[in-house]
Amino acid sequence: MDRFNIMETDFEGVYIIEPTVHADHRGYFVKTYDEEEFSAKGLDLKFVQDDQSCSSKGVLRGLHFQKQHPQGKLVRVIRGKVFDVGVDLRKNSKTYGKWIGVILSEENKKQLFLPKGFAHGLLALEDNTIFVYKVDEFYYPGDEGGLRFDDKDIGIEWPLDKIDELIMTEKDKNWESFEKLNFSYDL
């Protein structure tokens, strides 16, 4: 019996994953990863690190990537809600320079898998949002790259209508535009 609804997207290698939720009067149980079931769907993954962040409403993180050590990421929210975004930086991809965005929340329990070759970012839509990442490559601080969140050529439609103020690091405010980035993956 499948415990996951693993849905392909228009982006090669990007999947939206809906786990089966078993709920009763005690609460719920949900399996968020199963190596055998993911592998049977073509997702042969080996994760090396789990990360977690907590963000206030209006926090925008990203768009981040690693240049020499790209990371595949399986991401989900365990409290709150985010708008999660990936931008395809794989130069030989039919979706190169395009973005995908998905609402992930503690209610919908959806997960997003972004393979190596994507810039990643998120916007917290609620206070105290806890976001969890499983990654298939370690984080190397000196290898970090980024892309402007508001790049006009990419045109991400961030849901800002209920956000009073964007909260960002100076670094995230000042990443290069896609046109000036001068970087892509040959994956």
| pLDDT (tens digit per residue) in 113-128 | 999 999 999 999 999 9
The reply to whether 49 falls in a domain is yes
Tell me whether residue 42 is in a domain.
yes
Q: How confident is residue 86, by pLDDT bands cut at 50, 70 and 90?
A: very high
Count structural domains, the chain. 1
Answer whether residue 138 is part of any domain.
yes
SS3 at position 17: strand
Q: Is residue 186 part of a domain?
A: no
Please say whether the beta carbons of 55 and 129 come within 8 A: yes
> Could you tell me the strand order of the sheet in which 99-105 lies?
99-105, 81-88, 118-124, 60-66, 144-146
Q: CATH number of the domain at 108, please.
A: 2.60.120.10
Whether residue 133 lies in the annotated active site: yes
Domain around 16: 4-181
Which residue out of 33, 69, 133, 139 is catalytically annotated?
A: 133
Is residue 100 assigned to a domain? Answer: yes
Considering the domain boundaries, does residue 187 fall inside one?
no
Residue 58 above 50 pLDDT?
yes
Residue 1 has a pLDDT of 47
**Catalytically annotated residue among 25, 64, 69, 140:** 64
- The pLDDT of residue 2 is 59
Give the whole-angstrom CA distance, residue 158 versus residue 146: 17
